[in-house]
Amino acid sequence: MILSIESSCDDSSIAITRISDAKLLFHKKISQEINHSKYGGVVPELAARLHAIALPNILEECKKYFQDLKAVAVTNEPGLSVTLVEGVCMAKALSISLDIPLLPINHLKGHIYSLFIDNPKTVFPMGVLLVSGGHTQLLHVESYEKIEVLATTLDDSFGESFDKVAKMLRLGYPGGPVVEECAKNGDEKRFDFTVPLLRTPKLAFSYSGLKNQVRLAIEENPEAKNDICASFQNIATKHLLHKLKKVLQVKKFDNFAIVGGASANKYLRSEIEDLCKKQNMTLHVADLQFCSDNAAMIGRCAIEAYNLGKFANLDEIEINPRTNF
């Protein structure tokens, strides 16, 4: 079995995954959303302090698996450095005390493997749209080691733009679910926001301009919360679809997936579903509970790392807040 730890942002999570068949034997996550909500975003030092309390509490529940562990896996990149270090220190301590090897895991790869939790098979090659709080990337994933970035964001990420719109509307944090909820009761045609990067052939994403358009709309129409959310969600999604279609003109996939916290968005899911039908691609999505950050996806990813022998010595494991693929 592999014990995996996730602490890259504001979720403290530990999982136990069986190596032979990828069965998820234990998974617990303590989310800090309410602790950060009043600040309109994650406060790194507060998050780190809360991890230091939550992770040891969850670990207590895993003791019965200790004798069966073959490795300890931990997210070491990308994320907030002060929170990553909490998980990495715990992983190092377990590695020493249980005499088992360490597996550093890239959080973004973890999101890709959220598609295969409890499932020993993977479906590669595949096009993957990763939409989270820190990233908006279109990827060509051929294997654990071969991942090509086809498009990425020039500024804010898709999820982050929902968080910022929610903050401007004083809706709390995280913004994604609450903006999606408000949008259900709004008129998406009321505000004519422009789709970002519409006239450039550049294969990239950008959300900072749209965020500014939303800011101006809020200033002029402070009462129009639901219509603003609906119009924003519509254009934010159109932007993703527009660039995705451009990529699909030159790159063909039989399999396509959306992963990351914002892949829980039902509006986005249904738009991507339609596109996949039209383009004859099979759509893969993670179970809703595994879209946002969790240790089960890190554990599933770690099985691949284990089989490939991607172990790190105690002094080799580095915390990289900004790494990409």
Residue 176 interaction partner, one of Zn ion, ligand KG4, none, beta carbon < 5-8 Å per kind: ligand KG4
Query: Could you say whether residue 180 binds ligand KG4 (CB under 6 A)?
Result: yes
248 or 257, CB closer to Zn ion? 257
Query: Could you say whether residue 293 binds Zn ion (CB under 5 A)?
Result: yes
Q: What mask, x for binding ligand KG4 by CB under 6 A, covers residues 283 to 302?
A: ---------xx---------
Residue 45 to residue 43: CA distance in whole angstroms:
6
Stretch in the footprint of ligand KG4 (CB under 6 A) among 127-135, 210-218, 280-288, 300-308: 127-135
Query: Could you say whether residue 75 binds Zn ion (CB under 5 A)?
Result: no
Residue 152 to residue 325: CA distance in whole angstroms:
11
Q: Which of 127, 159, 196, 299 binds ligand KG4 (CB under 6 A)?
A: 159
The dihedral through the CA atoms of 150, 156, 162, 163 has a sign that is positive
Q: Which residues contact 63 (CB under 8 A, 6 or more apart)?
A: none
Q: 208-220 and 225-250 are packed helices; what angle lies between their axes, rounded to 10 degrees?
A: 160
Gyration radius of the chain's alpha carbons: 20
Query: Could you say whether residue 132 binds Zn ion (CB under 5 A)?
Result: yes
To ligand KG4, the closest distance from the beta carbon of 12 in angstroms equals: 13
- 117: nearest Cα among 236, 294, 244: 294
9 or 295, CB closer to ligand KG4? 9
Residue 283 to residue 254: CA distance in whole angstroms:
9
Give yes or no for a cis peptide into 201 (omega within 30° of 0): no
- 108: nearest Cα among 82, 150, 144: 144
Stretch in the footprint of ligand KG4 (CB under 6 A) among 40-48, 56-64, 170-178, 210-218: 170-178
Cα distances from 231 to residues 106, 184, 209, 212, 221, in angstroms, run 34, 11, 14, 14, 13
Number of residues located near ligand KG4, criterion CB under 6 A: 20
Query: Could you say whether residue 162 binds ligand KG4 (CB under 6 A)?
Result: yes
Stretch in the footprint of Zn ion (CB under 5 A) among 197-205, 230-238, 271-279, 289-297: 289-297
Residue 14: burial class (beta carbons within 10 Å; 0-12, 13-18, 19+)? buried
Angle at the Cα of 324 from the Cα atoms of 319 and 325, rounded to 5 degrees: 115
Stretch in the footprint of ligand KG4 (CB under 6 A) among 84-92, 119-127, 158-166, 240-248: 158-166
152 or 279, CB closer to Zn ion? 152
- 267: nearest Cα among 237, 245, 240: 237
Q: Which of 40, 134, 196, 299 binds ligand KG4 (CB under 6 A)?
A: 134
138 or 228, CB closer to Zn ion? 138
86 or 293, CB closer to Zn ion? 293
Q: Which of 264, 272, 276, 286 binds ligand KG4 (CB under 6 A)?
A: 264
Contact residues toward Zn ion (CB under 5 A) are 132, 293
Contact residues toward ligand KG4 (CB under 6 A) are 9, 132-134, 159-160, 162-163, 174-177, 180, 260-262, 264-265, 292-293
